[in-house]
Amino acid sequence: MHDDRSADMTIPGGRRQRLARVVQRMGLLQPLAAALSVFGSGQLRILAYHRVLTEPVEDFSFDLELVSAWAECFREQMIHLRKHFHPMRFDEVLAILQARRRLPANAVLVTFDDGYEDNHRVAFPILRDLDLSAMFFVATGHIDSGRPYLYDWLVHGLCVTKAGRVEIPELELDVPLPASLDGRRAVAAGVLDRVKALRESTQSILVRRIVAQLGVPVPDRDGGCRPMSWQNLREMRDGGMEIGSHGVHHRMLAKLPASLMKAELVESRRRMEVELGAPARVLSYPVGGHDAFDPEVIAAARAAGYEMACTYIAGTSRPGPHSQFALRRLPVERCMDQAWFEAVLAWPGLFIHRSRRRDASWIGSQPAAT
């Protein structure tokens, strides 16, 4: 996972999903949304996606938790959004805030994190067909290089390695690798969660060492988790999409030294201005959980010229001076059926899973990864 979702977020058939189906059958979802537009006036819903793929693939060996929806489900979600809510762009929201006006009732923004190639190939045509816009937060260093994210490659390595077990002393882990792909995904999720609790300087060194030991070194490019290109992004911008910053190298900003953290923010905006003709106005904190940003990161983002920033903490926000750089979002997961998706939009506080705080109690002295 690239974020701080609840541990049971991807378990289908949970109580929230069952409740959503009951409420939908009773015809109460739209009355709930109407009530929230009155009593929750000014709350902004921001949907958060990562990847949209055309169809399930049995041997998909990358992070399945980053698949937010299959293509037909995504189309159905966007049709519902267009029919029952008020889809907006970030530039429209910023203009309203600058004019000190109120947001429209049922305002919704659609966002994508990371910048995977399927955003352009699968999601963009659906959005364009439905005359909708979305914000795509991209890590400019990966757009430049075409290289996969280290987190993705760690999961991939654990899923495909021929090794029978994984030993990682720095993470206090020594576990056998199951034969099944599902079992290996579960191990990978635990390893990834522990990696993200480390200092950023340790993370990249350790991940590269682990994947090398697994016999799956990071390639220059890979079709399974390839980033978009600048040409893809220019086409999407010209087609009505917005492009925002996700840093340069998808690093957890609050875990970086101040100088590197600021460079991630400044250089990302500069590259976007060079390639797209304008710097990013909006930022999404990489990983985006409680430990991914802090007051120092917010101050640096303001100083770098950003006007708004999104977290990956579940919920809605009322944008304003104190929340504009810590906007909460509503994660969309592939396990969400249409009833649950509609329920999350109708009454987010009731139907969305709460974000958790990462448990780092296992960390001792954090020996350097060499």
Question: What are all long-range contacts of 159-166, with beta carbons under 8 Å and residues at least 24 apart?
Answer: 159/61, 159/62, 159/184, 159/185, 159/188, 160/61, 160/216, 161/214, 161/215, 161/216, 162/215, 163/213, 163/214, 163/215, 166/191, 166/210, 166/214
Fill in the DSSP letter of residue 102: P
Locate 156 and state its tokens. Answer: 């991939």
User: Where in the chain are the domains?
Assistant: 15-147+221-351, 150-213
The whole-number pLDDT of residue 332 equals: 96
Residues 6+ apart with CB under 8 A from 359: 197
List, for residues 218-248, the tens digit of each pLDDT value. 777 776 889 999 999 999 999 999 999 999 9
Q: Count how many residues are written for the chain.
A: 370
Contact 135, 244 (CB under 8 A): yes
What is the CATH architecture of 15-147+221-351? Alpha-Beta Barrel (3.20)
Q: What percent of the chain has pLDDT over 70?
A: 90
List, for residues 19-57, the tens digit of each pLDDT value. 878 877 887 777 777 776 666 567 899 999 999 999 877
Residues 6+ apart with CB under 8 A from 162: 215
List, for residues 75-126, the tens digit of each pLDDT value. 999 999 999 999 999 999 999 999 999 999 899 999 999 999 999 999 999 9
| pTM above threshold 0.75 | yes
Q: Mean pLDDT, the chain, as a whole number? A: 89
The whole-number pLDDT of residue 361 equals: 62
User: How buried is residue 162: exposed, middle or buried, by Cβ count under 10 Å (0-12/13-18/19+)?
Assistant: exposed
